[in-house]
Amino acid sequence: MSTHTLLKRSEPEAQGISSRAILDFIETAEKTIEALHSVMLVRHGHVVAEGWWAPYGPDIPHMLFSLSKSYTSAGIGLAVAEGRLTVDDPVLKFFPDDASAEPGENLKAMRVRHLLSMNTGHTKDTTEALHRAEDGNWPRAFLALPVERAPGSHFLYNTGATYMLSAIITKLTGQSLLEYLTPRLFEPLGISGATWETDPRGINTGGYGLNVKTEDIASFGQMLLQKGVFNGKRIVPEAWVAEASFPHSDNNNGTQSNIDWQQGYGYQFWRCRHNAYRGDGAFGQYCIVMPDQDAVLAITSGVSDMQRVLNTVWVYLLPAMRSRSLPADPQAAASLKAKLAQLALVPVQGQKNSAVAAQVNGRTYTLDANEQKAESITLTAGDNDFTVHIRDARGEHMVKGAYGTWLKGATTLQIEGSDKVAASGAWASDNTFVMKTCQYETPFRPTTTMTFQDAKVQVEIKMNVGFGPNAPLVWSGTAQD
């Protein structure tokens, strides 16, 4: 259970939802979705279900990816309320030293609201161009790009536009977005320990890079559900919550796939079916606000099919919410609590030993030249745990794991997002050892498969999710002795 105290707790039935329905949702998710990391359901202001799949936990922050955008929207809303800007201000107004002496007409027409609603007029996401800026001046790089269409004329998901909102906050306040939001949003919501990535000049990335805990997401959603109020205190103007959740952009592409990404786009929020709206991030980070049901659902995960998660919510949770409380169901409530208490990602299945285990134990294999510049790999196995050593140009790195469970630790391997890992491994066959490494502050969970044959090893590293093609890394090596 989370250590937060700002959200109240309640039995599901007291808030008009069946424990059995929530249990059905959890069990279906485990069978059909790979894989949820946490879930917290809030109904009528009360947490009615919360759970974390070990090695994830209530006090561990999670990488939000584009769910960060919705917090950036709140920052702009607060700055508008303070009279620092309006959504109709020209973007060029804030960066007089970074734009061309003769900006194009479309760039001159671009307003703050176009950044917010993802209709800047660009025909390609600008993020890659920002990262390529040799001088580290991302606003200048953004303003140098062609704006092919009239702002407001079409929807294009553009993370660079959200970055510019963060840069505007820094221009106006002299603070990073995180510094600006801390006393105004994070502290009133009970959010502590938040971190946010920055550009080379210290400006928060805005469109991604925020890391907070599951209940921090739920508290944010509850504030939105209550039209900007949390624990009786006005946090964000009611008018801003209404404006941010209104569909300003038409994103309907006419297909039947990913239908919840075609319901309209607000100010850094997606509209959903069933009159709901949400902030979301890559690989299944969700803050779903359901006004008609007076409910909020926070989810973190590492999934490739984000629509499937929403479909499961609409099928199992939405119709189970009743307008009145339900009779107590102690048996179902107890079953749900027991299930939530024992959630865990499935560790690697297999044996502690194998026919070749003694032969390869502690043996170093020199790897053939590879793009990652990995030089060697060694598997050292004990009775209850094991260690994989990988040497590259930076030195030697190790991951320590356990059989049949997750062992938490840290690694100096260059992995995305966090050095904190939990590892599990086993012999899947006589000559194949499998290790899963859960980077438990992120969605990422690479699987490393080592197949030994005589004095040779083949190593395959497959990531569970990734941007673009997700082909595995394959290395080959030969024993040094």
pLDDT of residue 443 exceeding 70, the answer is yes
CB atoms within 10 A of CB 249: 20
Residues 6+ apart with CB under 8 A from 376: 364, 365, 366, 367, 389, 390, 391, 477, 480
- What is the DSSP code string of 123-184? SS-SHHHHHT-TTS-HHHHHHHS---S-TTSS----HHHHHHHHHHHHHHHSS-HHHHHIII
**What pLDDT is attached to residue 415?**
63
DSSP summary character for residue 192: -
CB under 8 Å to 153, separation ≥6 — which residues? 119, 121
Residue 9 confidence class, pLDDT cut points 50, 70, 90: very high
Q: Which long-range contacts (CB under 8 A, 24 or more apart) does 281-284 make?
A: 281/63, 281/64, 281/65, 281/66, 281/67, 281/68, 281/208, 282/65, 282/66, 282/208, 282/443, 282/465, 282/467, 283/65, 283/443, 283/465, 284/36, 284/309, 284/443
Q: What are phi and psi of 272, to 5 degrees?
A: -120, 170
The pLDDT of 78-94, averaged and rounded, is: 98
What is the CB neighbour count within 10 angstroms for residue 8?
12
* pLDDT-derived band at 50, boundaries 50, 70, 90: very high
Say whether the peptide bond before residue 35 is cis (omega within 30 degrees of 0).
yes
Strand, helix or coil at 462?
strand
Q: What pLDDT, on the 0 to 100 scale, is given for residue 433?
A: 98
Supply the pTM of this predicted model: 0.96
In the numeric block, which tokens belong to residue 79? 């700055």
pLDDT at 414 over 70: no
| Sole residue written with tokens 């070990």 | 54
Angle between helices 68-81 and 214-225 (to 10 degrees): 40
Residue 282, pLDDT above cutoff 60: yes
User: What pLDDT sits at residue 143?
Assistant: 98
Which residues, 6 or more positions from 104, have their beta carbon under 8 angstroms from its beta carbon?
A: 146, 147
* pLDDT higher than threshold 70 for residue 71: yes
pLDDT band at 416 (very low <50, low <70, confident <90, very high): low
For residue 4, is pLDDT > 60?
no
Segment 38-43 mean pLDDT: 98
> Strand 195-196 to strand 385-392: parallel, antiparallel, or no bridges (unpaired)?
unpaired
Question: Residue 5's pLDDT is what?
Answer: 63
pLDDT of res. 255: 85
Q: What is the mean pLDDT of residues 121-148?
A: 97
Element (H, E) at 301: strand 295-301
Give residue 110's identity as a one-letter amino acid code: M
The pLDDT value given to residue 412? 84
What distance in Å separates the CA atoms of residue 274 and residue 268, rounded to the nearest whole number? Answer: 19
Confidence at residue 254, expressed as pLDDT on a 0 to 100 scale: 86
In this prediction, residue 470 carries a pLDDT of 83
Which pLDDT score is estimated for 321? Answer: 98
pLDDT surpassing 70 at residue 2 = no
- Dihedral angle over CA of 459, 462, 467, 468, nearest 10: 70
The set of residues, in sequence order, having a beta carbon less than 8 Å from that of 270 and lying 6+ positions away, is: 260, 261, 263, 264, 277, 278, 279, 280
Q: What is the reported pLDDT for 243? A: 98
Residue 32: Cβ within 10 Å count? 12
User: How do beta strands 374-381 and 432-438 pair?
Assistant: unpaired
Enumerate domains of the chain plus CATH numbers: 8-341 (3.40.710.10), 357-479 (2.40.128.20)
With a CB cutoff of 8 Å and minimum separation 6, the contacts of 432 are 449, 450, 451, 452
- Spell out the alpha helix ranges (H) of 196-355: 214-225, 238-244, 306-312, 330-341
* Rounded mean pLDDT, 280-304: 98
C-alpha dihedral over 135, 139, 143, 149, to 10 degrees? 130
> And the tokens for 423?
């590892």
pLDDT more than 70, % of the chain = 98
For the segment 163-170, the average pLDDT, to the nearest whole number, is 98
Asked whether the predicted pLDDT for residue 1 surpasses 60, the reply is no
C-alpha–C-alpha distance, residues 124 and 143, integer Å:
14
Cis, bond preceding 183 (omega within 30 deg of 0): no
**Which letter, b or e, does each residue of 9-31 get, where b requires 16 or more Cβ atoms within 10 Å of its Cβ?**
ebbbbebbbbbbbbbbbbeebbe
